Structure 1
Amino acid sequence: MLALIAGTGDLPAVILSRVDGPVVTCALHGFSPSIDVEIPFRIEHLGSFLNVLRERGVTDICMVGAIRRPPIDPSEIDAATLPLVPRIQAAIAKGDDGALREVIAIFNDHGFAIKAAHDIAPDLLPAPGFPTKAQPSDWHLADAAEGERTIAEMGAGDIGQACIVRMGQVADREDVDGTDAMLARFHEDYIKPEPDTVLAALHQSIGSMLENITGSAADPVTADDGILFKAPKPTQDRRADLPTIGFQTAMGAAEAGLAGIVIEADGVLVLDLDSVVETLDAQGMFLWVRPKGAL
């Protein structure tokens, strides 16, 4: 039997709808998933929770949705959890990736196998290529390479899975508030009340620069020509916490004035690909499912 430990967001409901066989839904105290929860639990009762799962016949665990590391109330720790306290404290003290690895290790040590969301719904990992009508331009290829380098750098610090790259420069990086908040920040910072004036000045500046370099005029990159780049941290355990995009991401990227979205192939889940593609097509934007290291 599968136990689905659900966080926030749309992914838990999608995975629950794809489970073939019995499933028990669970959620950590303080989080309200979009699905009905059969077994809520506190981190201070983790040992008891694992015992309950074992008694229910659970053999596999799938963790989906956003979860932030909760505070621990020492007065709430029960006897079954007391032996796990050093490991729980160590996990809480680590970054997101380190904490996730420790939690997975605890589950494994108690006899549970971890199933990834894409094990249950493999179609959430789209095939490499360009499912949209629009495709990236040459400068977007360079921006994507910069995005990959940036995510590798961010991953070393365990601090995010997405960034915005614009004309070879990183304009923003995902933090604990997530991708939607980053896109909103970018919109606030770069989409001005009089964009025509800004664009005209930028066109003139970049056009002059390109003419000086090449000896001829060229079509400049516009101010709204950045990309959202999203990929897993290079060393993360891909059985949980793979980055996800969906309709909301596509809308946020469009509102931020970006040219497209680039995701790492086999590393980013796409919820309702048809809706994402339809949204981007309507805005003349592209989606590039990019193999890691592609030029």
Structure 2
Amino acid sequence: MSAPAERPRKLGIAAGSGPLPLQLAEAARASGRDVFIVGVKGAAGSSIEAWPHGWVRVGAMGRFLKLFREAGCEDIVIIGPMTRPTLRDIVPDFRGLLLLPRFIKRMQRGDDALLRGVVEFLEDNGLRVIGAETILTSLLAAEGLFTRIAPDAAHQADIDLAIRAAHDIGAQDIGQGAVARQGHVIALEDIQGTDVMLTRVAAKTPHAASTRQGVLVKLPKPAQDRRVDRPTIGARTVERAAAAGLAGIAVEAGGAIIADAEEMTRIANALGLFVLGFPPSRVESLVR
């Protein structure tokens, strides 16, 4: 008699905003995994309620852990954009109150330090945090050109400039993105995120829709835990880059997540932007 097949480990998803949490849930279910989603209030959308789910406010670390444990989750993925909370946003439960001094210190050091604290908390309590790409390998950006339009020599020079800038702010745990235009870095991502940065660029760019100069580059931070908070682009990023008058977007292949690459590519082609995945060796050659 053959041994029974090993039961797939149940997946818990800590969900922020955007389409990625549900894309991941669907991929996990298709692979035979049971799924339970914990939505972060103020970030995750109501669409998670079509799945087994619970809700947690920022700071309620005891409930966060309890929801996953009671659902029988063994592996956890943290995915979807979340704005870094201010102290005013945090409403801790008892467990969160005990952890608050530690997390305040991490908040002062940056987003990556804060997320590492969440990962440590989950793993110290018997859960295993994994990267989203272990469930849905197609999430990671491939190397090469996604679009019909390709960057020219001037765009490539701006990409190099933005790579250096994004690497520098990433090393300081500030952000993951930079915009360069015509040989100048004109915007750096901060804790408010890529969308806010691109809105600032659009506000400073006259006749943005017809300008089409400059590039957005997104990179993983040099020391970050790549299981969480990889740089992410998608259709909305392309639309905001177009509104800011940019010519295209470039990300590190294998280092960034693309939310629905097919839809993103369709919109980029329609709007006349390029999207490029460059090899990690390009970053290494520029910042060493």
TM-score with structure 2 length normalisation? Answer: 0.83
Q: Do the aligned partners of 1:165 and 1:226 also contact (CA within 8 Å) in 2? A: yes
The 5-angstrom pairing of residues 1-295 of structure 1 reads: 1-20=10-29, 21-37=33-49, 38-70=53-85, 77-81=92-96, 83-192=98-207, 224-294=212-282
- CA distance in 2: counterparts of 1:115 and 1:193, whole angstroms: 40
TM-score with structure 1 length normalisation? Answer: 0.81
Q: Against the structure 1 CA distance between its residues 51 and 138, is the aligned structure 2 distance closer, same or farther, given a 3 Å change threshold?
A: same
What count of residue pairs does the alignment treat as equivalent? Answer: 268
- CA distance in 2: counterparts of 1:9 and 1:149, whole angstroms: 28
What's the CA shift for 1:69?
Answer: 3.7
Name the larger-Rg structure.
1
Q: Secondary structure at the match of 2:72?
A: coil
Structure 1 runs, 4 residues or longer, greater than 4 Å off: 75-83
Amino acid across the alignment from 2:158: D
Q: Which moved more, 1:228-237 or 1:170-179?
A: 170-179
Structure 2 residues not aligned, in runs of 5+: 1-9
Q: Do the aligned partners of 1:145 and 1:293 also contact (CA within 8 Å) in 2? A: no
Q: Secondary structure at the match of 2:145?
A: coil
Q: Do the aligned partners of 1:247 and 1:276 also contact (CA within 8 Å) in 2? A: yes
- CA distance in 2: counterparts of 1:256 and 1:121, whole angstroms: 31
Q: Secondary structure at the match of 1:279?
A: helix
- CA distance in 2: counterparts of 1:256 and 1:30, whole angstroms: 26
- CA distance in 1: counterparts of 2:270 and 2:158, whole angstroms: 23
Q: Alpha carbon RMSD of aligned pairs, Å?
A: 2.6
Q: Secondary structure at the match of 2:227?
A: coil
Q: Do the aligned partners of 1:183 and 1:256 also contact (CA within 8 Å) in 2? A: yes
- CA distance in 2: counterparts of 1:151 and 1:93, whole angstroms: 20
- CA distance in 2: counterparts of 1:194 and 1:177, whole angstroms: 24
Q: Secondary structure at the match of 2:204?
A: helix
Q: Secondary structure at the match of 1:263?
A: strand
Amino acid across the alignment from 2:38: C
What's the CA shift for 1:230?
Answer: 1.1
What's the CA shift for 1:293?
Answer: 3.6
Q: Secondary structure at the match of 1:35?
A: helix
Q: Secondary structure at the match of 2:237?
A: helix
Q: Secondary structure at the match of 1:91?
A: helix
Identity of aligned residues (%): 36
What's the CA shift for 1:291?
Answer: 0.9
Q: Secondary structure at the match of 1:61?
A: strand
Q: Deviations over 1:192-232 (max 9, x none)?
A: 4997xxxxxxxxxxxxxxxxxxxxxxxxxxx6321111111
Amino acid across the alignment from 1:270: I
